[in-house]
């Protein structure tokens, strides 16, 4: 008998499995329906021997020292600052929009103050910023919005920015200086040997048993566990009884090319009419040297694995119904991007899992099987 069944071996599930086993000495079974651990952060060596991210580019960034410190128990880091270019009108321009983006796009040579005036003249006043369209047009005006955001967002989400919550495009700032980094967090780095290796080390505890290709819906009757951490889609857990929560999916096309480098930065965004949203070249992220190079095209889709919760008011409302059911479920904790229906980055999921562990630890006595180990744990 296990003290805990953890459903899903991504960041949420793996952090909790690791904490419960190492700090409370409890016996944990962690399952995943996929044939690997790591969730969407899973990386692997492809046939050419290049390290690729199976589910698209994952760049680690956070302002929380506690999260870096926690993960550093399981990995060393490779410093890496992410830079992205957008392919528009025959040019590759920095995104987030900055001074160089605007100068190159319009053939101008403004300084930062002039760019501030340029934005102010074009920005459209919006009473209350509610949507993803409002966020951008109220800062930079309609032309830049249509060039960089409208097409990309329509492709990515299958919805116009005016239908999406402001939080979606608000992820991408606007700058009047030349800073061309995608993120400005204090810590920006990649696990030195990859994410999968980091997850292997997290789960390499004698009290953790990993079972892959095991779908909770199929195995739950056979598993004897006192408590459950659930990190899959919350609507699925409740058999969709309130209706389906929409998730956006992606199709990934991985290719290996016969050249050492195919693009100047790790990610190029395609906000125009191409059917894909972005192309990633992994060597920039991993620092790997190799005669060939591997890239991934991302094609957004409604079908397929659930990758993104869709931030719209009606979906938030439906989620609140599931959240109320979850609050009444006994001995089950819902954690992670799918189980709490939040568009969270890896560090946020890691933080949410660590906070859940603290709550569990404060409110539940350690199971008998773990008493000896928990007493000796730090
Ligand atoms: P997941 O990683 O989705 O793990 C959930 C696991 O549960 C999955 O492995 C799934 O197979 C399993 N599961 C589901 N249902 C069942 C079931 N019934 N039975 C058994 N197992 C089940 N974040 C960043 O910080 N930086 C980035 O650059 C970044 N890039 C991203 C790019 C893409 C294309 C995507 C989709 C996401 C990106 N993210 C990024 C977000 C990041 O992937 C998530 O924050 C993180 O992986 C969430 O971890 P999780 O454990 O909540 O969910
Ligand atoms: N976005 C856009 N154009 C871009 C980059 C982003 O319109 O060149 C919008 C799009 O709606 C996207 C959102 O901003 O879904 C958030 O971008 P981010 O790069 O954070 O997306 P993720 O990496 O999470 O897919």
What superfamily would CATH give domain 2-37+203-245+310-377?
Answer: NAD(P)-binding Rossmann-like Domain (3.40.50.720)
Task: Calculate how far, in angstroms, residue 344's C-alpha sits from the geometric centre of ligand 1.
Answer: 9
Ligand nearest to the CA of 230: 1
- In this prediction the pTM is 0.97
Domain ranges, ordered by start, for the chain: 2-37+203-245+310-377, 84-170
Q: Residue for token digits 């061309």? A: 180
Counts for the chain of helices (H) and strands (E), in that order:
14, 17
Q: Is a pLDDT exceeding 60 seen at residue 26? A: yes
Q: Is a pLDDT exceeding 90 seen at residue 367? A: no
Q: Is a pLDDT exceeding 70 seen at residue 317? A: yes
Return the ligand 2 atom nearest residue 136 CA: 7
φ and ψ at residue 297, rounded to 5 degrees? -95, 140
User: Are the CB atoms for 12 and 199 separated by under 8 Å?
Assistant: no
Tokens (6 digits) for 10: 């991504």
Packed helices 132-140 and 112-122: angle between N→C axes, nearest 10 degrees:
120
Task: Calculate how far, in angstroms, residue 297's C-alpha sits from the geometric centre of ligand 1.
Answer: 18
Mean pLDDT of 315-334: 97
Task: Calculate how far, in angstroms, residue 168's C-alpha sits from the geometric centre of ligand 2.
Answer: 7
- Per residue in 147-165, pLDDT (tens digit) is 999 999 999 999 999 999 9
- Atom 14 of ligand 1, residue of closest alpha carbon: 232
Average pLDDT of the chain is 97
Assign 377 a pLDDT band (cuts: 50, 70, 90): low
pLDDT at site 311: 95
Cβ partners under 8 Å of residue 347, min gap 6: 60, 61, 62, 64, 67
Ligand nearest to the CA of 307: 1
Q: What percent of the chain has pLDDT over 70?
A: 98
Measure the CA angle with vertex 335, ends 334 and 339; round to 5°. Answer: 70
Return the ligand 1 atom nearest residue 59 CA: 28
Return the ligand 1 atom nearest residue 82 CA: 28
Tokens (6 digits) for 306: 């659930």
What is the rounded (10 degree) CA torsion for 64, 65, 66, 67? 60
Is the shortest distance between the CB of 269 and ligand 1 below 6 Å? Answer: no
Ligand nearest to the CA of 347: 1
Mean pLDDT of 83-104: 98
User: Are the CB atoms for 208 and 21 separated by under 8 Å?
Assistant: yes
Ligand nearest to the CA of 182: 2
- Per residue in 57-83, pLDDT (tens digit) is 999 999 999 999 999 999 999 999 999
Cα–Cα distance between 204 and 208 in angstroms, integer?
A: 7
Q: Is a pLDDT exceeding 80 seen at residue 283? A: yes
Is the shortest distance between the CB of 40 and ligand 1 below 6 Å? Answer: yes
Q: Is a pLDDT exceeding 90 seen at residue 239? A: yes
Q: What percent of the chain has pLDDT over 90?
A: 97
Mean pLDDT of 7-32: 98
What is residue 225's three-state secondary structure?
strand
Q: Is a pLDDT exceeding 90 seen at residue 378? A: no
Return the ligand 1 atom nearest residue 32 CA: 21
Ligand 1 pocket test, pick from 82, 266, 346, 350 with the greatest ligand atom count within 8 Å of Cβ, gives 346
Assign 376 a pLDDT band (cuts: 50, 70, 90): low
- Per residue in 245-270, pLDDT (tens digit) is 999 999 999 999 999 999 999 999 99
φ and ψ at residue 330, rounded to 5 degrees? -85, 135
Packed helices 11-24 and 195-203: angle between N→C axes, nearest 10 degrees:
30
């Amino acid at each position: 008998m296990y003290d805990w069944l953890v459903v899903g071996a991504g960041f949420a599930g793996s952090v909790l499995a690791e904490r419960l086993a190492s700090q409370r000495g409890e016996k944990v079974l962690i399952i995943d329906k996929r044939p690997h651990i790591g969730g969407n952060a899973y990386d692997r060596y492809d046939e050419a021997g290049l390290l690729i991210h199976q589910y698209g580019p994952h760049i680690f960034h956070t302002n929380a020292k506690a999260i870096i410190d926690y993960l550093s128990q399981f990995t060393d880091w490779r410093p890496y600052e992410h830079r992205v270019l957008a392919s528009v009108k025959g040019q590759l321009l920095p995104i987030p929009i900055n001074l160089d983006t605007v100068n190159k796009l319009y053939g101008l040579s403004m300084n930062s103050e002039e760019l501030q005036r340029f934005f102010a003249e074009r920005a459209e006043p919006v009473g209350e910023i509610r949507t993803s369209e409002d966020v951008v047009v109220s800062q930079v005006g309609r032309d830049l919005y249509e060039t960089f955001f409208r097409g990309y967002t329509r492709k990515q989400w299958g919805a116009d920015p005016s239908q999406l919550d402001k939080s979606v495009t608000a992820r991408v700032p606007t700058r009047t200086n030349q800073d061309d980094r995608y993120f400005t967090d204090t810590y920006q780095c990649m696990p030195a040997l990859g994410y999968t290796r980091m997850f292997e080390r997290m789960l390499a505890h004698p009290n953790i048993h990993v079972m892959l290709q095991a779908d909770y819906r199929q195995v739950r009757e056979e598993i004897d566990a006192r408590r459950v951490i659930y990190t899959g889609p919350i609507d699925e857990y409740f058999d969709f009884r309130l209706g389906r929560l929409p998730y956006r999916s992606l199709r990934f096309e991985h290719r290996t090319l016969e050249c050492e480098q195919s693009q100047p930065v790790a990610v190029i965004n395609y906000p125009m009419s191409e059917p894909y949203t972005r192309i990633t070249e992994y060597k920039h992220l991993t620092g790997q040297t190799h005669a060939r190079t591997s890239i991934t095209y991302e094609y957004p889709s409604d079908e397929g694995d659930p990758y993104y919760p869709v931030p719209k008011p009606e979906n938030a409302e439906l989620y609140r119904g599931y959240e109320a059911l979850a609050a009444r479920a006994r001995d089950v904790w819902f954690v992670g991007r799918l189980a709490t229906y939040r568009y969270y980055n890896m560090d946020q999921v890691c933080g949410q899992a660590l906070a859940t562990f603290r709550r569990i630890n404060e409110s539940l006595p350690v199971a008998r099987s773990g008493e000896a180990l928990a007493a000796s744990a730090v």
